[in-house]
Structure 1
């Protein structure tokens, strides 16, 4: 696979995540609760992954390795739970800015765990991304109208767990086929979700056919595609640059909230979206090629 494809795959994975807040808000508007939304998402997502996995090449693993991969998927489930909890009290355009803090949390995590100090290019990129994120989220205009401390708390927690998931995506089970890695990650997430929200809650909740649509969209763009794309791209790009590329989710969330939810988006927010794309370009220009070339030399 061409080296330039790996950053693009991560970028697409970030865009997929940006779609989620819109469908979660639509599901909440239809009367569904956090438990139903989360269960439907992971149920449809895990089915999609397992159908593909059953017909794909596999590597036989000992039970300890399987359990390790399951554990590595736990931050993925926690990110969804914390973020969706934040969306119960925050507007989509405001909740995303707290999740977006993974941009600097991820680089800090890489520094602490791998002793990789952020380069000047990466620090500039992060600064540009954070500046754009405040504009894109509408801070100081209409984005702060629904602010709650509890929502901010859950949103920031989601940034920490998402940073951990991105880090694990670049390091755990890198010798496995991408579909096997992502399926094991998602299975670990699904087990945790079932533990927190037992399926019995569905029996006490009135459901209609639209939950199939919401569950399928959330499962596809939140459980199936991002882990698969990250499993392919992250080992070649690294978690530090990966967090920068994944930041594409914020402008996508703003665009979706405008066109689908009908939320007002000011000129400052559109300016923030443009700045974020510039930040992604700055971070990707040199760091990506250096990281990919280093990995290719190590593999040869």
Structure 2
């Protein structure tokens, strides 16, 4: 049964990731800053996954103390930072553009894998990278007549993709040491939430929660559940039945979901150039996610 539904689990996970932008804009409008919003999501997801592993298999929570640097790098330096950059991009750009810039991560992984693991950059990969780059240029609206865009937002959006790519590098190190993907995700969220705690506006958060405990608490809970905990669990379950490459392709529903939500909720529109660019980036992502490329796309968190 799960083998048949596994592809749908990945698609649902992608749609959930695509909903992050809506939560971010709602919470930003309430007065929360980007790091506080990310902290709420990381802390909530950490509690949910930790509780789940305690029930499912508490052995998955164990790590070698000597490997803590891996999870600190993956959690605080990568997960916390790229999510903060993504939140900023969401508020600076359209939801679709922010999502597609985040999805450039696999292309940066190709470059980083060459630097750190000496993986070959084949002519096929180079062509794919060029396709993705041209797509990003079109999506950014540079050729749209009379269009205005935030150069700062685009730069921050690209930084979110680079941060996500570095997360894949740390994750690969952890996987090579034999850690389960759930272990990696949980410890990423633990380290991310601990690191972000020093940059969180606890006073503003306490004021908002105190003024409306049920509604605000419920919103923060749904943000952590829908934006992080649930999609990672669904994705991890699906990986038991389908290969990583196919899962990566199906998870491309994330930018599509973000685009639809941006259109319906915020009346954001896309030009022909932007739509063409999005198709080019998604096509490059699909090509790059083929099994023979052997790239990690969604084994670990955003």
TM-score range, shorter chain: 0.7 to 0.9
The answer to which of 183-192 and 81-90 deviates more is 81-90
Separation (CA, whole Å) in 1 of partners of 2:294 and 2:139: 29
Structure 2 alignment gaps of length 5 or more: 296-302
Structure 1 alignment gaps of length 5 or more: 293-300
TM superposition shift of 1:213:
4.5
SS in 1 for 2:185: helix
Deviations 1:116-166 (A, max 9, x none): 1223333333333333334445443389524143x3443332222111112
Q: RMSD of the alignment, in Å?
A: 3.9
Deviations 1:20-65 (A, max 9, x none): 2232123223443324422321232122211211112214433333
The answer to which of 250-259 and 87-96 deviates more is 87-96
Is residue 24 of structure 1 aligned with residue 24 of structure 2? yes
Separation (CA, whole Å) in 2 of partners of 1:67 and 1:117: 27
Cα 1:99/1:242, change in 2 over 3 Å = same
Cα 1:167/1:189, change in 2 over 3 Å = same
Residue 165 of structure 1 is matched in structure 2 by 167
Residue 69 of structure 1 is matched in structure 2 by 71
Is residue 145 of structure 1 aligned with residue 175 of structure 2? no
SS in 2 for 1:21: helix
Compute the TM-score of the two structures, normalised by the length of structure 2.
0.74
TM superposition shift of 1:185:
1.4
Is residue 121 of structure 1 aligned with residue 124 of structure 2? yes
Residue 106 of structure 1 is matched in structure 2 by 109
Residue 283 of structure 1 is matched in structure 2 by 288
Cα 1:159/1:32, change in 2 over 3 Å = same
- Equivalent residue runs for 1:248-267 within 5 Å: 249-267=254-272
Deviations 1:190-231 (A, max 9, x none): 111112216344235565354335423432344325655479
Contact kept? 1:248, 1:277, Cα under 8 Å: no
Deviations 1:67-112 (A, max 9, x none): 5434422211111112213334333344345434424322110110
Is residue 271 of structure 1 aligned with residue 260 of structure 2? no
TM superposition shift of 1:248:
5.2
Runs of 4+ in 1 over 6 A off after TM superposition: 2-12, 241-246
TM superposition shift of 1:278:
2.8
Contact kept? 1:128, 1:276, Cα under 8 Å: yes
- How many residue pairs were aligned? 285
1:156 to 155, 158, 166: 158
Compute the TM-score of the two structures, normalised by the length of structure 1.
0.75
Is residue 41 of structure 1 aligned with residue 56 of structure 2? no
TM superposition shift of 1:268:
3.6
Separation (CA, whole Å) in 2 of partners of 1:248 and 1:143: 30
